[in-house]
Chain A
Amino acid sequence: MNADSYVAIAFWILAIGMVLAAYAVVALPRIIHSALALVLFFFQIAGLYVLLRAEFIAAVQVIIYVGAVTVLFLFAIMLTNRSYAPDSNPANRQWIAAGVVSLGLLGTLLATLGRQTWPTGGQVPANATVLLGQLMLGPFILPFEIAAILLLVAMVGAIVIARES
């Protein structure tokens, strides 16, 4: 058992779990169960990031998605739906067309991926978190500031929209 086979085992467990969780988000009849499946999905993605040596992104993923975004979803569900109803997450009339479109997209993507070969030999530097910080505040400072302003605008906008006048 070397490091590669551990990575392979972890990858397959996470991959199967993620596909099942994503399917559960789409297929479960109660919307709150879908939201909880989404939590599981986000958590497994964080595990995948750890496999990809992106520990910082993994931590951010858990903080933002599990800690904030899903809580927003759960709040929205509890504030709007009669969430105890057994059929709170129904499909609409165009589900057949949607299935055809997404299967077609999947086929196209897989066919493209099958033809493509990628160069190998990439390495993640040991001090990736430090380098990431230097990149964010160095060459990418302008997008970083724009993202900050976007978040501020989104926060103010969300408060203004959601507020009862």
Chain B
Amino acid sequence: MITLQHFLVLSAVIFSIGLYGALAKRNVVAVLMCIELMFNAVNITLVAFARYLPATAGNPYGPLTGQVFALFIIAVAAAEAAVALAIILAVYRTRRSVNVEDVNLLQS
């Protein structure tokens, strides 16, 4: 029997893997990919809540609220990916590198 707990644990594991990658990777594209992992981990919890939690009196929108939030997260993540990759291309054009450590223009 699969319960809500299974999905939450899975999501926690994936979020931690994503966090490790986002902190420990040198390539900006890899950092972005790990951020996408974290977004998706959060989405799993939202959709799992929408599936398993009963509708309560405090929530007038019914059991699908979690799915609505997941859709908004997907939209925001898509926007984020597009802008971030554009920035990466612009940085690569001036610095010829995609390493996080080479982007230090604001460092004193």
Chain A residues near B (Cβ < 8 Å) = 4, 7-8, 11, 15, 18-19, 22-23, 25-26, 31, 34-35, 38, 41-42, 45, 48-49, 51-54, 56-57, 60-61, 64-65, 68-69, 72-73, 75-77, 79-81, 88-92, 94-95, 97-99, 101-103, 105-106, 109-110, 113, 118-125, 128, 131-132, 135-136, 139-140, 143, 147, 150-151, 153-155, 157-159, 161-162, 164
Contact status of A57 and B71, CB under 8 A, knowing A35-B33, A91-B24, A124-B51: yes
Cβ-Cβ contact count across A and B, 8 Å cutoff: 245
Residues of A within 8 A of B32 (CB): 73
Q: A34 and B30: CB pair below 8 A? A: yes
Does B103 sit at the interface, judged by CB under 8 A? no
Residues of A within 8 A of B50 (CB): 52, 54, 122, 124
Pull 30 A–B residue pairs with CB atoms less than 8 Å apart, ordered by A. Answer: A11-B6, A19-B10, A19-B14, A22-B14, A25-B34, A42-B40, A54-B67, A57-B70, A61-B43, A64-B78, A73-B33, A76-B89, A77-B29, A91-B26, A92-B26, A94-B24, A98-B23, A102-B17, A118-B53, A119-B53, A123-B63, A124-B63, A125-B62, A135-B68, A139-B61, A147-B76, A150-B76, A154-B78, A162-B86, A162-B89
